[in-house]
Every structure is written in C-alpha cells, then in structure tokens.
Homo-oligomer: A and B are copies of this chain.
Amino acid sequence: MARDGFELENFLPYRLNRAAEFVALRFAAQYKARYQLTRPEWRTLAALGSSGRSMTATEIGAHSTMHKTKVSRAVFSLEQRRWLKREEDGRDRRFEHLALTPAGEQAYKELTELASRYQAELLSMLGTEDMSALSTGLRAIERAMRKSAPEA
C-alpha cells in the first residue's frame, strides 16, 4: 500500500482519535436523546456528581479538560434547568461554588446508570483482556500527561 515507512493506520494520534470518537459518539447519542444534554453539560454534571462535593468552575475545567468558556456556558444552562446552583464564597467573592440540586443529583444518578451500562457493553465488545490492555495503555498516557502537562 504505502510507499514509505510511515503508515497512517499505525499513527497513534490517528488511531486514538478514531477510537475516542467512536466510543464517545455512541454514548453521546444516548444522553442526547434521553436528556437533551450537550457534551459539555454532561461532562460538567459528571464532574460535579462524581466528586460528590461542590466545585468551582475552574476546578471543573481542570478536571475535565474543558475550556473556561465551555464550562461557563454549560454551568449556565445546567443552572437554567435547576440541576445546579451557585453559591458565592464569603471570603473570596470571585469564587462560585457550584453544586448539584436534588434534581441534578437525580439526573446524575440516572445518567450514571446509563454510563455504567455502556461501560459494560464496551467491556463485552472488547473482551476482558483487550480492555485491560487498553486500560494499561491509557494509564501510561495519563502518567505522561501529568508529567509534561502544559494542559489544553
């Protein structure tokens, strides 16, 4: 096929991107259909819900590698939906402490079940062995990210 040493099919950024998109899109289809959630919204909800405490917008961004503005917009729309409320920090009024409302908690719980089911589905698609190989590989990248992290 190719005439030289380089093979696009073996190029890691290419492969990772393709795989990530495939896996993400199938899940996004679910929460979009059932909850009319966008990706940044789901990510924000997940960050808050899974941490189990209130967080600032900046924390959410760092945690989920989303841009400030994305977080800001997602927070706004989750607030509109009454899934999230802001509380100002008494000591430093620049901060906003964001927390899920009971409705938000409930939504998170339901989405969490969707997510767990999806994860299980993926596991059965890949098989235990390949899944754990993937996990090992991803862990290595996560390690590398922490080291050389200029952060997106």
Question: Measuring CB to CB, which residues of chain A are less than 8 angstroms from any residue of chain B?
Answer: 1-25, 27, 43, 46-47, 50-52, 64-65, 109, 112, 115-116, 118-119, 122, 125-127, 130-131, 133-142, 144-145, 148, 152
Contacts and interface: CB of A to CB of B under 8 A. Distances in A.
B52 A6 contact: no
A22 B19 CA distance: 14
Contacts of A9: 50
B11 A115 contact: yes
A5 to B, nearest CB: 6
A118 to B, nearest CB: 8
Q: Which 8 A-B pairs have the closest CB atoms?
A: A134-B137, A130-B140, A20-B20, A16-B20, A8-B50, A6-B112, A133-B136, A133-B133
B16 A50 contact: no
B136 A130 contact: yes
